[in-house]
Each structure stands twice: as structure tokens, then as C-alpha cells.
């Protein structure tokens, strides 16, 4: 597989990988690093990637695994995740500024368990089919639905809590 | 969009039982400014998902690994050349002795010559000593 062909295959879903990485790692910089790392791995195994039916799903799985590993090693070395992206990612910051509610949703999402965060990201943000998500996460559609339902309800609960608080 | 349908979809949504198309309907409903007051709490959720999808990576992906592998290949070649030169140099330079070693060799030869000469002279001297034994024999004959 030539470089051009490789880029054409994998570049279309770069932003998706980035957003997933950021959902897991929270920090934008770390997410960029993760994407870079995943692409390097994909490039090394570029001859294999053409064998996969769905390179995108494969890349998503790789990104998820890589980010979870990063998270684990970070917790092991007792480093705290830097929650700095509110300030750093300017392009989204500007849009959010007008909307405290949306920012609250992002913050609630950060508190969810990783698996729920990942599923919520893949379904509600990236709009993958359940069958695709199940394959990406090496899980079943039922399990994905259950986890997704929990994640959505958790967000709703927090949101309503804050909403009522704001009103009363 | 009639409100009842939205409410029904919303219930299904939280149970994880909506299709992508149905979720798109919900997103579109909450994207508009007029949302039923009792559903207003959900608006930021769907707006947030829409907004989250707009975020993009700002870094260019670099897959210049090709150059990297070429360079790595060259490292291998360079290393083996250096090794070959080293081994060859070692093998060919062995017979050639350094200045110091040559001097030491000459000194060794000289010393050996000197030692040999000494031992030769010593042997000659020892031969001369045999006359003393003759003298002793003669003396014994006389003084028996």
C-alpha cells in the first residue's frame, strides 16, 4: 500500500478518532498524540489494513484500546489527567460560551465510566450503528444498548438536577 | 412535529431503543429554538452532541515512516561496514608490530645473544676447569 493510498483510506476518519481520543483522555493535546500514534501503527500495518472489511471500525478499536492503555498507565504512575481543554480548545470554547448548558453536558460526560463515555461518543456524537459499535468494542448489541441507556440516563439525571436547581 | 411523538421518541431514546433516524429527528427538534418548556432541560444534551461532532483535529498526520525505514536500512549497512573494517583491520594489522614492540623484539634478540655468548664463555671456562681435576688425580696418585 502506497502512502497516497494509505492517506486516502485512513484520513477521512481522523477527526472521529481525535474526538474519541479526546472523550477518553479529556486533554486535547493528548488526544492529538494518541491519533498520531494510532496512525503510525496503522501505517506500520498498512499491508494488513486492506484486508480488513472496515478500516474505520478497526481504527476506532485501536484508538479506544490505545487511549484506555494510556489512561491506565497514567493512573498507575499517579499522574492526574489535566482538565485544561476548556481553556485550550478555542474553537469549541467560543461556541460553548453562549451556552452553559452544553458545557455542563460535556462536563457530565467526563464523569461517566469510560465504557459509557465511549459508547455515548460513538453513538450520539458519531452516529454509528449498534452493530458497528458492538464490533468496535468487541461486545454485543444488547450490551451496547444497555450501557448507552445508562449513559444517557446518567446525563439526563445530572442535567435535570442542575436545571431544577437553576430554576428554583 | 407533534409533541407527543417527540415525547415518545425521547422515552425510547433513554432506553437505548431508537434508531439513528429517530435520533436525528430528536436532534433536529432540539436544534430549533422553540422547544416545549418541560423538555427544555434536554436541549443542551442534543445540542452538545451536535457541537461535539464539529470539533476537529488540528494536527496533520505524519506518516513519513518510509524515509524512516530507509534510514534504518542505512544504519544497518553503515554498522556492518564499520564492523567489517574493524575486523579486517584487526586481522591485517596483526603481523605489523608497533614501534615499541619492534624495539622490544630487538632488545629480546640482543639479550638472547648476550645470554648465549655468556653461556658459551661459561662453558669454555668450565672446560678449562677440567685441568683442575687432572691436577687432583695426579695429586692423588702422588699422595696415596
Quick: pLDDT tens for A60-91. Answer: 999 999 999 998 887 766 555 555 545 445 55
Angstroms from A25 CA to nearest CA on chain B: 14
Of B13, B43, B62, the CB nearest to A152: B13
Question: Is the CB of residue B43 less than 8 Å away from at least one CB of chain A?
Answer: yes
Q: Which residues contact A54 (CB under 8 A, 6 or more apart)?
A: A132, A135
pLDDT score at A163: 72
Each residue of A101-117: b (16+ CB within 10 Å) or e? bbbbbbebbeebeebbb
B48, B51, B60, B69, best to mutate vs chain A, most A CBs in 10 Å: B48
- List pLDDT tens digits, range A120-157: 999 999 999 999 999 999 999 999 999 999 999 999 99
**3 state DSSP class of B55:** coil
Question: Is the CB of residue A15 less than 8 Å away from at least one CB of chain B?
Answer: yes
Q: Give contacts of B51 with chain A, Cβ < 8 Å.
A: 92, 95-96, 102
Question: Is the CB of residue B105 less than 8 Å away from at least one CB of chain A?
Answer: no
Q: Give contacts of B13 with chain A, Cβ < 8 Å.
A: 152
Q: Which residue of A has its CA nearest to B62?
A: A36
Q: Give contacts of B66 with chain A, Cβ < 8 Å.
A: 3
Angstroms from A39 CA to nearest CA on chain B: 7
Cα angle value A62/B24/A53 (rounded, 5°) = 30
Among B63, B58, B57, B60, which Cα is nearest to A4's?
B63
Write A128-136 long-range contacts (CB < 8 A, 24+): A129/B20, A132/A54, A132/A57, A135/A54, A135/A57, A136/A57, A136/A60, A136/A61, A136/A64
Kindly report which listed range (A73-82, A155-164, B34-43, B75-84) carries the lowest average pLDDT score: A73-82
pLDDT score at A96: 47
d(CA B69, CA A109): 41
pLDDT score at B33: 85
Q: Cα separations (Å) of A105 from A20, A21, A80, A99?
A: 16, 18, 22, 10
What domains can be seen in chain A, in order of their start residue? 1-89 (1.10.1740), 94-167 (1.10.10.10)
pLDDT score at B27: 94
pLDDT score at B34: 87
C-alpha cell belonging to residue A136 = 468496535
- List pLDDT tens digits, range B105-129: 999 999 999 999 999 998 888 888 7
- List pLDDT tens digits, range A22-37: 999 998 999 999 999 9
pLDDT score at A88: 46
Percent of chain B clearing pLDDT 90 (strictly above): 47
Amino acid at each position: 500500500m502506497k502512502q497516497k493510498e494509505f492517506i486516502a483510506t485512513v484520513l477521512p476518519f481522523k477527526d472521529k478518532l481525535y474526538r474519541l481520543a479526546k472523550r477518553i483522555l479529556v486533554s486535547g493535546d493528548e488526544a492529538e498524540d494518541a491519533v498520531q500514534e494510532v496512525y503510525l501503527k496503522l501505517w506500520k500495518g498498512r499491508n494488513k489494513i486492506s484486508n480488513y472489511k472496515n478500516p474505520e471500525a478497526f481504527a476506532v478499536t485501536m484508538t479506544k484500546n490505545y487511549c484506555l492503555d494510556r489512561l491506565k498507565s497514567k493512573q498507575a504512575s499517579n499522574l492526574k489527567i489535566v482538565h485544561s481543554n476548556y481553556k485550550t480548545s478555542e474553537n469549541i470554547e467560543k461556541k460553548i460560551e453562549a451556552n452553559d448548558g452544553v458545557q455542563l453536558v460535556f462536563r457530565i460526560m467526563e464523569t461517566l465510566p469510560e465504557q459509557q463515555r465511549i459508547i455515548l461518543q460513538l453513538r450520539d456524537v458519531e452516529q454509528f450503528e449498534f452493530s458497528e459499535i458492538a464490533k468496535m468494542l468487541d461486545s454485543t448489541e444488547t450490551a451496547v444498548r444497555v450501557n448507552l441507556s445508562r449513559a444517557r440516563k446518567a446525563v439526563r439525571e445530572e442535567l435535570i438536577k442542575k436545571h431544577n436547581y437553576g430554576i428554583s | 412535529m407533534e409533541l407527543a411523538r417527540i415525547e415518545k421518541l425521547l422515552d425510547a431514546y433513554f432506553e437505548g431503543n431508537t434508531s439513528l433516524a429517530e435520533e436525528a429527528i430528536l436532534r433536529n427538534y432540539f436544534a430549533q429554538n422553540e422547544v416545549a418548556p418541560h423538555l427544555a432541560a434536554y436541549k443542551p444534551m442534543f445540542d452538545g452532541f451536535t457541537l461535539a461532532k464539529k470539533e476537529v483535529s488540528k494536527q496533520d498526520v505524519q506518516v513519513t515512516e518510509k524515509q524512516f525505514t530507509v534510514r534504518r536500512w542505512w544504519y544497518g549497512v553503515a554498522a556492518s561496514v564499520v564492523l567489517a573494517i574493524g575486523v579486517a583491520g584487526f586481522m591485517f594489522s596483526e603481523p605489523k608490530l608497533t614501534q615499541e614492540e619492534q624495539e622490544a623484539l630487538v632488545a629480546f634478540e640482543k639479550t638472547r645473544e648476550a645470554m648465549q655468548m655468556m653461556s658459551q664463555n661459561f662453558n669454555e671456562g668450565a672446560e678449562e676447569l677440567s685441568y683442575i681435576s687432572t691436577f687432583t688425580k695426579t695429586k692423588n696418585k702422588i699422595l696415596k
